[in-house]
Amino acid sequence: MSSDKVDVIDLIINVLREHEKTLDELVGRLEEVLDRIPAAEGREVVERPPTIRVEVHDWREFRSRCRGAPVVAFEVEDRTLSIYAVKGGMIYTYSEVLPEMKVRMRKADGHYVVEEFSVDSLE
């Protein structure tokens, strides 16, 4: 796996962690506001239109379509990274299998030294 891909994955993970913190704060603030609003009787409830799910197989296309998305989430399950973004009433999804990585290290003079690093794929 190239260092560029590792850097991109690290960047995505860090951005998603920050988004998660921000979303948690916003949800907490919204719950506080909703608790202060008295329940209105007889108000008409407007339902949202159904959301369309778009599965994108190319990373560059996914990144282009989802740039500036207000909501982004990810999960890793069984070596598969899945990223979800909501933009314009649509849920975009992108998934790819993460390469299997093996690292052999040893401790030397209080530091760890990588003796071997291997991946099963560079795609």
pLDDT by residue (tens digit) across 91-104? 999 999 888 888 88
Give me 25's structure tokens: 């704060």
The Cα 46–Cα 77 span in angstroms is: 36
Question: What is the chain's mean pLDDT, rounded?
Answer: 81
Residue, of 122 and 71, whose pLDDT is higher: 71
Distance (Å) of CA 24 to CA 27, 28, 46, 50, 87: 5, 6, 25, 25, 19
Contacts of 103 (CB under 8 A, 6+ apart): 114, 116, 117
Number of domains forming the structure of the chain = 1
**What's the domain range around 94?**
3-119
pLDDT one-digit tens code per residue, 78-91: 889 999 998 888 89
Distance (Å) of CA 81 to CA 12, 60, 91: 11, 15, 16
